[in-house]
């Protein structure tokens, strides 16, 4: 895993490629096009790019109106503003009427780094999960990010895409086919099942390698689509492994741990250990320092697997 690319980078490039293929794609941003990488699209298709200024709620409303006219709007800003400030709009004007808007939000989670708690969204997956008609996708690397952009355009209805600021390891090979709604078994195993999403997938792989050295074979399952959840794979691996660990760069409430626990409590009740942010806000610091401080590391996953 030598190469590192930020998923937001892959988003920007994929968006431009998508724009070349599909004229219905329009892109709206809220004064962060350089950071969210929608500027790549804006440069290629200035007539289909609309800066909405620092007005996230109205950007979201306008996207709803454009979708009602047959466009496929991708709207972008930081995840914390793009799911929080405009929540009412996403709920009432996009999800309720099931309009075809793609919410592609970047700078999610702690890996935003130095900007601190105001800019670190740790609740966005919870907010989006709770909305009927919403699909929630958290790509694990740049390859998946690219695939997810194209997949989102094919899905009829609202999609939330969660991207990161930080450069993270590329896990999948060139040409990886992203299938929405399908969990991906990256490494098989029988002793423990580690379900991970986003930047935590590569850490889960590190953890599994370390565990393997100690004779513990952990399966690593990438849950890149949180909603709808691939329940069958989750149940199969819980049955097979018995020990279940979840890993996410998100609050322990309402994200990956919640959906997996909910599924297993109904279908196959087992203990589920969470590697997640424990009901606290973040703070300023380097991305790696923060991941360490808030216990989102391969080492923590190893500890969780051994804690049963």
Closer of 64 and 136 to another protein (Cβ): 64
Q: Which of 61, 83, 224, 257 binds another protein (CB under 8 A)?
A: 61
Decide if residue 69 touches another protein (CB under 8 A): yes
Decide if residue 89 touches another protein (CB under 8 A): yes
x/- map, 90-129, another protein, by CB under 8 A: -xxx--xxx-------------------------------
Decide if residue 270 touches another protein (CB under 8 A): no
For the chain, what is the radius of gyration of the CA atoms? 18
CA distance linking residue 234 with residue 232, whole number of Å: 5
Run of H or E residues at 193: strand 192-196
**N- to C-terminal Cα distance for the chain?**
29
CA distance linking residue 141 with residue 169, whole number of Å: 7
Decide if residue 77 touches another protein (CB under 8 A): no
Tell me the DSSP string of 235-277. HHHHHHHS-EEEEEEEESSSSHHHHHHHHHHHHS---EEEEEE
Task: Region of 162 please: left (phi>0), alpha (psi -120 to 50) or beta.
Answer: beta
Decide if residue 226 touches another protein (CB under 8 A): no
Q: How far is the CB of 181 from another protein (least distance, A)?
A: 23
Q: Tell me which residues in 131-170 interact with another protein (CB under 8 A).
A: none
CA distance linking residue 257 with residue 249, whole number of Å: 11
- Residue 72 main-chain phi, psi, to 5 deg: -115, 90
Q: Which of 16, 37, 71, 102 binds another protein (CB under 8 A)?
A: 71
Q: Tell me which residues in 11-30 interact with another protein (CB under 8 A).
A: 26
Catalytic residue among 56, 123, 146, 249: 56
Q: Which of 2, 21, 47, 279 binds another protein (CB under 8 A)?
A: 47
Active site residue 56: yes
CA distance linking residue 250 with residue 208, whole number of Å: 21
Catalytic residue ranges: 56
| Site residues, another protein (CB under 8 A) | 26, 47-48, 50, 52-53, 55, 57-58, 60-71, 88-89, 91-93, 96-98
């Amino acid at each position: 895993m030598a190469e590192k690319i930020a998923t937001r980078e892959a988003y920007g490039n994929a968006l431009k490629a998508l724009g070349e293929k599909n004229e219905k794609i329009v892109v709206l941003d809220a004064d962060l096009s350089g950071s969210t990488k929608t500027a790549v699209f804006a440069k290629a298709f200035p007539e289909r790019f609309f800066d909405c200024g620092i007005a996230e709620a109205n950007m979201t409303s306008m996207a709803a109106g454009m979708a009602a006219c047959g466009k496929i709007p991708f709207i972008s800003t930081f995840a914390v503003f793009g799911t929080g400030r405009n929540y009412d709009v996403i709920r009432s004007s996009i999800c309720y009427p099931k309009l075809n808007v793609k919410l592609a939000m970047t700078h999610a989670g702690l890996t935003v780094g130095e900007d601190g708690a105001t800019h670190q969204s740790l609740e966005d997956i919870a907010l989006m999960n709770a909305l009927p008609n919403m699909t929630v996708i958290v790509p694990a690397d740049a390859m998946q990010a690219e695939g997810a952009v194209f997949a989102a355009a094919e899905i009829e209805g609202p999609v939330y895409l969660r991207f990161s600021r930080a450069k993270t390891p590329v896990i999948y090979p060139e040409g990886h086919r992203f299938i929405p709604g399908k969990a991906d078994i990256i490494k098989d195993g029988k002793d423990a099942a580690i379900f991970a999403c986003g930047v935590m997938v590569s850490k889960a792989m590190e953890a599994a390698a370390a565990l393997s050295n100690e004779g513990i074979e952990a399966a690593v399952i990438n849950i890149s689509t949180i909603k709808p959840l691939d329940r069958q794979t989750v149940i199969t691996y819980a049955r097979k492994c018995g020990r279940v660990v979840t890993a996410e760069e998100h609050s322990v409430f309402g994200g990956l741990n919640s959906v997996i626990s909910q599924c297993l409590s109904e279908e196959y009740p087992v203990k589920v250990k969470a590697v997640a942010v424990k009901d606290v806000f973040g703070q300023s610091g380097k991305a790696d320092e923060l991941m360490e401080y808030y216990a989102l590391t391969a080492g923590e996953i190893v500890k969780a697997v051994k804690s049963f």
